[in-house]
Structure 1
Amino acid sequence: MVAKRQAEPDVWVIEETGADELLSLGTEAVAWLLTLQRATTVDERLGVLTDWLAAQAGVSALRFIDQAGQVRADAGPEMAACSWWRIAGAEAAGVFQIGDDGAVDVNKLSLVLGAVAPLLRGALAYECAVRRARRDPLTGLQNRTAMAEALAAEMDLVVRHEAPLTLLVIDVDHFKTINDCFGHRAGDAVLRQIGERLKAHSRTGDLLFRYAGDEFVVALRQTDEAGAEQAARRLRHLIERAVIQHEDHIIRVSVSVGAACAAAGDTAEALFERADQAMYRDKADATRIRLAAGPARAAEPPSYGIHGQ
């Protein structure tokens, strides 16, 4: 057996299974391991594992919870009784909750989990690296790379299903002055606070990005022109209400907001450009939030149909 109990009741620590140990389960186990290796994502590998454990080790229910506390697999009926299995190592990849109705072959289960442990750890590490590559480390929002990918997918939905989509571009006014007067750490504090406010007050389906420097982008799904104006006003108000303390200084900021609604014939780049230009017009006149119209027809200037007070 390649697992041992911890001090806590019903917790097993999974050690990695050697090739000879896995061969003791027969050629079917080797074939299963090859299938598992061909799977690349965490979810694919957990699916293969769940199917094999049900067939070969008598496991009727399985749940896997990753290191972030997210349930990544949940198969089988409710567990009246269960045991917990943790992959060995300082950086735990997560824990398995295994339904235990008395029919589980603990030796087989231990060997199989030991075989999947390094593969699952590798897939989780890759997934984490990809997430980090798409996150802005200062604010925790998605970055410019993630934005390009996400907007391409959203524009596909606009084209295929005519799903309403609005883009807000938010820019901090006089950000260079904040850095010059209070220092770059104060500027960082301002950006973090804006990121926190956007996360706290956006809808579940909204997509949030730090585009560059002091510029943020919010993609509002299922949002038309009326909803765009309301969202732009609300987010500007929430950001400008923030009282940001840095060392002995109290900093308050204002922001400029531009908005554009996706229309037929749009691309993600064109939609962003219109929202960005609307933001610059708003920066010139901070009493108004302007909504850019759809792409202008040939020889026809664009119009801006929503004006604030």
Structure 2
Amino acid sequence: MKLVVTDGATLSGGGVSLDGFRRFGELVVYDLTAPEQLAERVGDADAVLCNKTPIPAELFDQCPNLRYVGECATGYNNIDIAAAKAHGVTVCNVGGYSTDAVAQHTFALILHHYSRVAEYDTAVRQGAWKQAKTFCVMPYPMQELAGKTLAVVGYGSIGRKVAAIGAAFGMRPVIATRTQPADCPYPLVTVDEAFRLADVLTLHVPLTEQTAGMVNARRLSAMKPTALLVNTARGGLIVETDLAQALRDGVIAGAALDVLTEEPMGATPLADLENCTLTPHVAWTPLETRQRLLEQAVENVRCWLDGKPQNVITAP
């Protein structure tokens, strides 16, 4: 069997390796693959492993040997699932591998906003503490998380973890989810209610036709002027021009984003706003998280070859 990795640079290195796939046959790894290179590189391969490489409908016509696409991520909006199904190609993703890491980064962004650690560290390094007349220097107002309403939009594994961490901080979680959870200990609200109630609103939903642009001028205008918006899910959930305008006008107090609509970052209107914190899609990147990702991706291939595929998005 031949396996092709289309964007190995996004997966390997920094303590993790793609060698686990070699047990299944010939492995060809490309660091990155441009759209015009994809069909030639996949060629006669039986399986493709990708992270963010777009897998369009025409690839399945151009590469008739292809029988398996392994999405080395949870989100699979880069793959034309309908075309894969029509061609009898199995698509599997990796779910749950990043729950702890993304929840951790979500709260790193929240604490960055409320505890002002970066600003105080900068002030100390610039001599503010040495020059102080008292034991304490406090030019940057801090706030407690306890008592604040944490609106969690999406109640999958990450949303559940974020809500539990928020509750441990003494926050009041409320949950907006399209499916009715059987065991949710927190109040359930609509998406519009979540925006209206939130002191902190955090997004944990996939990017679909239904969720694209769900953060828009209308919903932002309903939020508290003191509210913080956090997105560690997918950039396309937010209409960036609407968010930028809301941040400039003080409609909300701040935003903290690990994802953008265009990645690598393009000409986003959010880039130069002081009340918008940006990190470069790193919530999923702790070493343990990436090791777990590749272990699960390898196991997905093994199960498919055994005729018992797991984490199936579509299959013949």
Task: Answer yes or no: same fold by TM over 0.5.
Answer: no
User: Per the shorter chain, which TM-score range?
Assistant: under 0.3
Bigger strand fraction: 1
Bigger helix fraction: 1
Question: What's the TM-score once normalised by structure 2's chain length?
Answer: 0.26
Structure whose CA Rg is larger: 1
Question: What's the TM-score once normalised by structure 1's chain length?
Answer: 0.26
